[in-house]
Amino acid sequence: MKILVANLGSTSFKYRLFDMETEQQLARGGIDRIGEDAESNCVVEIGSHAAKETKHIPDHAAAVQMCLDQLMHSDTGCLNSVDEVAAIGFKAVFAGKLSGIKIVNEELLQAMENLADVAPAHNPPYVRAMRQLQASFPKIPLVAALETAFHETIPEKYRTYSVPYQWTQQYEVLRWGFHGASHRFIGTRMAELLGKEDAKVISCHLGGSSSICAMLGGLSQSTSMGMTPQSGLPQNNRVGDFDPFALRLVKRLSGKDYDELLDELSTQGGLLGLSGVSNDCRDIEIAAANGNEQAQLAVDVYAADIKKYIGQYLAVLNGADALVFTGGIGENSDTIRSKVCEDMTFAGIELDSDKNSSTREEGKISADNSKLQIWIVPTNEELVVARQTAKLVQN
């Protein structure tokens, strides 16, 4: 069985193709600038073969068709026919109570549309692309692996806001949590690395979008993102945790309406807003190293917020066996890892500075006397989605 896993942006399409009998990745690729006036870069890697093509791509259906054409190329392709693709799996974000692993149908699409206010950067492009693909590839099942599904095991006391209870019942106002595929992969992989099925793991998925998750035996117990992906840690350009009553003051002083202010918080906040430099942590760290005080503040706030959540989750789990860093920042920024782990010896967290600065692939970076193991583990969200998609299609 071959599964195509799609990762969608409003103007981008990235994919991986898996043979699920061996879980081998057969190909990967991506297309940018979809629907724009400029020509798109269409990149594909099949084994050791890599190719790049440039042409105008009007929509996501055309992007998928082009990728399939590349995968069926007579000389370098890994597919003989489109019929070999058993399903297309999506790392979808939010559909409220329609969580879990779902065949994409009208009910699901309407739920995602109705909750676009919650995930404005994610739901609209997914719904639009899914509708296009339904029309263009009616014989290929589309499967949505909702990111919230992994967090359904969180105890009610850690999921419920102290809002009027009817909000929870009528409007689905809960701490839903996101990055489920990434945290699920980390939970499974750490059970293997630790040789312990009931391991207590704190997973730090740090990237353009970041969240922390406390896991027991591979099951989510608490997570930093709440009702929306705008919450929790500072994101690349989204605010993270914030007192909503501050909006009333800023509205009065700025003369802007609530929608304007919310747009600013979701597009000009986070690391971008703090640093005034960039929404990319690499650029911010360089600016901080060159003496930019505002950039240094962004680095310090980001690391401090991560540390605060780790402290919470040590309490939730009654200790931990491992602390894991994953995602683009988690895997590559020794600066952030160092700042997060400093002055944490009271909790048995001690980093080996040499391992921290030299390790880029999967590896343990804790000091020999650290009570908690500290790991870098590259995540594989696409493989998790492929597994979930294959299971649903088989059933």
Q: Which residues are annotated as a binding site for ATP?
A: 14, 280-282, 328-332
The backbone torsions φ and ψ at residue 50, rounded to the nearest 5 degrees and listed phi first, read: -130, 140
Cβ(280)–Cβ(237) below 8 Å: no
CA angle 355, 211, 43 (to 5 degrees): 80
Instruction: Identify the CA nearest to 340 among candidates 356, 327, 354, 363.
Output: 356
C-alpha distance from residue 32 to each of 55, 236, 382 (Å): 10, 20, 19
Cβ(17)–Cβ(2) below 8 Å: yes
Cβ(389)–Cβ(3) below 8 Å: yes
Q: List the binding residues for Mg(2+).
A: 7, 381
How many CB atoms lie under 10 A from the CB of residue 387?
22
C-alpha distance from residue 37 to each of 56, 121, 128, 153 (Å): 8, 21, 19, 45
| Largest Cα–Cα separation, the chain | 64
Provide the token pair at 253: 């002083």
Give the helix, strand, coil percentages of the chain, each rounded to 5.
40, 20, 40
C-alpha distance from residue 302 to each of 12, 158, 206, 225 (Å): 27, 23, 10, 14
Cβ(212)–Cβ(303) below 8 Å: no
Distance CA 374, CA 201 (A): 10
List, in sequence order, the alpha helices (H) in the chain: 60-71, 106-114, 123-136, 156-159, 165-171, 180-194, 246-254, 258-267, 270-275, 281-289, 293-317, 327-332, 334-341, 353-358, 381-394
Provide the token pair at 197: 């099925």
Provide the token pair at 362: 């999967």
Provide the token pair at 34: 């979809």
Q: List the binding residues.
A: 7, 14, 280-282, 328-332, 381
